[in-house]
Structure 1
């Protein structure tokens, strides 16, 4: 592993331990040349997943797109980053547990909405307004009525 500080090729593992509930390994390393320490994570490489978008184009799965949508929806809401990340981990687990090589963006969007609805109603409505492309106030009000009826 190359040192991120000096670029030296030789580094030593000082400590290893499980991370992310056993789904990855956290390694503490030290550079033999500059003696600085840094952390690396090893994760099992997942099956490459392709997302089929609404216009039928295909692109590689990108977790950061889900993160951006969730973080924007939860902006200025009483939802901790750890809760958001835990929710995103669950969504990602649902996606990969299907063991399919392709998944529709619609499926991902519905998963996000289902989890957001449980997490925070306002964040859910924010996400739904973009995802479902509300055209007018009436459509927005219909979605709000669904939440209020529950």
Structure 2
């Protein structure tokens, strides 16, 4: 593993442990050249997932891009890094379980919306405001009245 600070190729693993959900290995590393410490994650990848963008181009599904967009939606919310990692792992596992290897950005967005709705309603609305391109305050009201209310009511329905 290359050091992200000085690019040294010989980093030392100081600590390894599985993440809480067991979907990844967290490794704490140190660079012998610059003494910097950093964390890496090792995850199982069943197949290479690709995302088909609106313009038709394809790119490899990026855990980091998803992490960044969810971090923005959940900024200043009481969501731990571990919960965020679990959320992203759950989304990528759901995509892998479909058996498909290519997904439109719309499909990925719907999986994200479903996961966020179950995790944090405020983050769900924030993500939706960008994903659904809200342009006026009424868009928020309509979304909250229609979709968020429906999602929250489903959570209250007792399981059969």
What is the TM-score with the length of structure 1 in the denominator? 0.72
After superposition, give the CA deviation of every residue in 1:32-53 in whole Å (9 maximum; x if it has no partner). Answer: xx9x9x9986554542221111
CA contact (8 A) 2:50 2:59 kept: yes
Taking structure 1 as reference, are residues 3 and 84 closer, same or farther at Cα in structure 2, changes over 3 Å only? Answer: closer
2:50 counterpart residue number: 50
Structure 1: 5+ residue stretches without partners: none
Taking structure 1 as reference, are residues 106 and 18 closer, same or farther at Cα in structure 2, changes over 3 Å only? Answer: same
Structure 2: 5+ residue stretches without partners: 154-160
1:86 counterpart residue number: 86
Distance in 2 separating the partners of 1:2 and 1:74? 30
Whether 1:131 and 2:131 are equivalent positions in the alignment is: yes
After superposition, give the CA deviation of every residue in 1:52-96 in whole Å (9 maximum; x if it has no partner). Answer: 112222111111111111110110112222111111110011111
Distance in 1 separating the partners of 2:123 and 2:27? 36
1:148 counterpart residue number: 149
Taking structure 1 as reference, are residues 136 and 42 closer, same or farther at Cα in structure 2, changes over 3 Å only? Answer: closer
Rg larger in structure: 1
SS in 1 for 2:139: helix
1:69 counterpart residue number: 69
Whether 1:111 and 2:111 are equivalent positions in the alignment is: yes
What is the TM-score with the length of structure 2 in the denominator? 0.68
CA contact (8 A) 2:23 2:89 kept: no
Q: CA RMSD of the aligned region, Å?
A: 3.4
Aligned residues: 143
Distance in 2 separating the partners of 1:89 and 1:54? 24
